[in-house]
Amino acid sequence: MRVGYARVSTEEQNLDMQRRSLKAGGCKLVFEDRGVSGIARSRPQLDKALASLKQGDILVVWKLDRLGRSLSHLIEVVQALGERGVGFQSMSEAIDTTTASGKLLFHVMGALAEFERSLIAERTRAGMAAAKARGEAVGRPRKLTQNQLEHAQHLIETKDKSVKSVARSLRVSRATLYRNCREARRTILAPGQ
């Protein structure tokens, strides 16, 4: 059985063209999400469409972007379908994983997506190394400023305040206070205080 899935991002958009194309493409059943963004993790009608598919069925979409949030998500969904013995077809891009050429095209797309992820990771690592070489801080900024750390040190050493009470007054956890001190290379606090 051919099962269609249609989606529009806003309530104002119309599903008619997708619906007509899917029906003309032989879909007996069409699930429709209206007003649901493609990046949404949960799409109720897509979830129902995927649950309804049985081995030998084919999930059909009008365009690839109707199904996946990204190329990697799209590949993940289609691979999961393949593992269940379910085919996939995108009408606009003429991709049909029930054919050898369709499978090949989809695998090439998957390889390109993996290559792109590797390039991004490589560029990120190179950028971080360059920033470190320039002496720039890499990563999330510290929660506490240098002045706050000095104030914490003063309270603990001269006012005999506990680490817990100082952390509470700064609105951070004790772990955050310890970590920020360690990162600032300040040894003002002994663990366990």
The residues annotated as belonging to the active site are 9
Q: Is the dihedral of CA 78, 80, 82, 87 positive or negative?
A: negative
Distance, CA of 193 to CA of 139 (rounded, Å):
28
Distance, CA of 181 to CA of 150 (rounded, Å):
9
Distance, CA of 73 to CA of 154 (rounded, Å):
52
Determine the straight-line distance between the first and last CA of the chain, rounded to whole angstroms. Answer: 67
CA dihedral angle for residue 180, residue 186, residue 189, residue 190, rounded to 10 degrees:
110
Q: Where are the beta strands (DSSP E) in the chain?
A: 2-8, 29-34, 58-61, 87-90, 95-96
Amino acid at site 102 = G
List % helix, strand, coil for the chain (3-state, nearest 5).
50, 10, 35
Residue 155, both tokens: 């309270």
